[in-house]
Amino acid sequence: MPQEIKDIIIIGGGPTGLFALFYAGMRGVSARLVDALPEPGGQLAALYPEKYIFDVGGFPKILAKDLVKGLLEQASQFGQPLHFAERVVGLEEDGGLFTLVTERERYPGRAVVIAGGIGAFSPRRLPQPAAAPWYGRGVYDRVLDPEQFRGQRVLIVGGGDSAFDWTHQLLDRASAVTLVHRSDRFRAHAATVSAVSAAAAAGRAKVLTFHELADVRGNGDHLTGVTLRDTKSKSTHDIEVDAILPMLGFVSDLGSIAEWGLTLQKDEIVVDILMETGRHGIYAAGDITTYPGKLKLIATGFSEAATAVNQAVHRIYPEKKVAPGHSSNMAIFGQKDD
C-alpha cells in the first residue's frame, strides 16, 4: 500500500524533529517523522537520558528523558505519525514531490525537514576483541537505568563527561566503581572531576589513569573480571567486575544524506537564514545545520524547526502566511483572538 502524501516529512526524532512535528500540526498541515533510533529523543535519549539540562527556557532544571517525554506529548497531540527504528536511506524527487526512502517504506511528501542531528549515531565500541561477545550482557555503552547496576562492581572506561558523570552517579548504587583512562587528561566538567576525585580520595571509587583494558573474562553467561594494563610500565593486574561501561564517545554517520546534493561543511548542512538548504523544498534544522554563529543547543533547534516549518508551510500553501501568529490566540488550541 503506498503511503499517504504528507505536506512535511521530518527526518529525525530528536528535540528539533519532535518540535518540528508539533509545529507542523499547529500550522494545520500534515506531517510525519522518521527516526533510526528505537525511541524518540535523539541525543537526549541515546546519550544522556539521566542528565539534567539547565538551559531550556521554562525549565530551571529538567532531566533529559523528561524533556523528551514532554516533547513527545506535545508532538503527538495532532495524531501525526511517528516511525522509529527506521533509518532513512534515500530521497527521491519527481515533479516537486519528494519520496523519503527508508529501510522498510517509501514516504511521499511535499517538503522535507532534515533534523538529523549528528547523523544516525552509535557509541564507539571497545577496540579489544575480547569485549565484543559481552556487549549487552555485561558490557553496556548506554545506561538506560542506573538502578541496573545497584550492588554491582562496575568498570567505567573513558575520560570524558559521560565517564565521569556515570562514575559519580553510580557511587551510591554500585558496590565498587573503577574508572580507567589512558591518560591523565580529562575532557569532563571540572566540578564532576573534583567530585569523583574526592570520592576516590575517600575510598569510595578508584580512578586509574594511564591504564587501559587488556582482557575481559567471563564464566558462562556472566562477566567476571578484566585485566587492566598500566600503559607506562606495561604491567597488568586483574580485577573482578560485573559490568563494564565503555564511555568512549560515539561515531556518527550522515549516511545517504551526504549524497543528496546539499552543500555540506564537514558533516553539517549549510543553510540560509530561512533554514533552506539550497534544494527547493528541503529544509534543515538543529545540530545538523551550520551557518555563521551557529549554536548547537536544544533551544536553537526549536527556533530553527519553527523557521523551517513556517517556510515550508508558506511554500506549499502560499495563501498561508510565514508568520504563525500567537499560539495563545489559536483556535486549534481552543483559544480565541484577543
Ligand X SMILES: Cc1cc2nc3c(=O)[nH]c(=O)nc-3n(C[C@H](O)[C@H](O)[C@H](O)COP(=O)(O)OP(=O)(O)OC[C@H]3O[C@@H](n4cnc5c(N)ncnc54)[C@H](O)[C@@H]3O)c2cc1C
Q: Which residue is nearest to ligand X (CB)?
A: 117
Asked whether position 275 contacts ligand X by CB under 6 A, the answer is no
Distance CA 117, CA 267 (A): 10
Residue in 25, 49, 109, 119 binding ligand X, rule: CB under 6 A = 119
Q: Which is nearer to ligand X, 123 or 281 (CB)?
A: 123
Q: With CB under 6 A, what is the number of residues at the site for ligand X?
A: 36
The answer to whether 112 and 11 have CB atoms below 8 angstroms apart is yes
Task: Please list the residues that pair with 266 across neighbouring strands.
Answer: none
What x-and-dash track marks residues 93-112 binding ligand X by CB under 6 A?
--------------------
What would the DSSP string read from start to end of 140-160?
-SS-S-GGGGTT-EEEEE-SB
Kindly state whether residue 71 participates in binding ligand X, applying the rule CB under 6 A: no
- The helix/strand count (H/E) of the chain reads as 6, 21
Residue 232 sits at φ, ψ, to 5 deg, of -90, -55
Residue 105: CB minimum distance to ligand X, A = 12
Residue written as grid cell 552509535: 122
Q: How far apart are CA 170 and CA 195, in angstroms?
A: 12
Residue 171: which residues within 8 A CB-CB, separation 6 or more? 177, 199, 204, 205
String marking each residue 240-259 x if it binds ligand X according to CB under 6 A: ---------------x-x--
**What end-to-end distance do the CA atoms of the chain give, in Å?**
45
Q: How many CB atoms sit inside 10 A of residue 197's CB?
A: 14
Residues of this chain, 299-338, that bind ligand X according to CB under 6 A: 299, 301
Taking the least distance from each CB to ligand X, the nearer of 82 and 257 is: 257
* Per CB under 6 A, 21 contacts ligand X: no
CB of 121 to ligand X, least distance (A): 7
- Which of these segments, 2-10, 30-38, 218-226, 316-324, binds ligand X (CB under 6 A)? 30-38
Residue 192 in the binding site for ligand X (CB under 6 A): no
Nearer of residues 87 and 173 to ligand X, judged by Cβ:
87
Site string for ligand X, 31-70 (x = CB under 6 A): ---xxxx----xxx--xx----x-x---------------
Instruction: Give the CA distances from residue 115 to residues 80, 110, 122, 153, 247, in Å, rounded to whole numbers and listed in that order.
Output: 17, 16, 17, 39, 25
Q: State the nearest-atom distance from the C-beta of 298 to ligand X, in Å.
A: 4
Which residues of the shown chain bind ligand X in the complex (CB under 6 A)?
11-17, 34-37, 42-44, 47-48, 53, 55, 87-88, 115-120, 161, 255, 257, 286-287, 296-299, 301
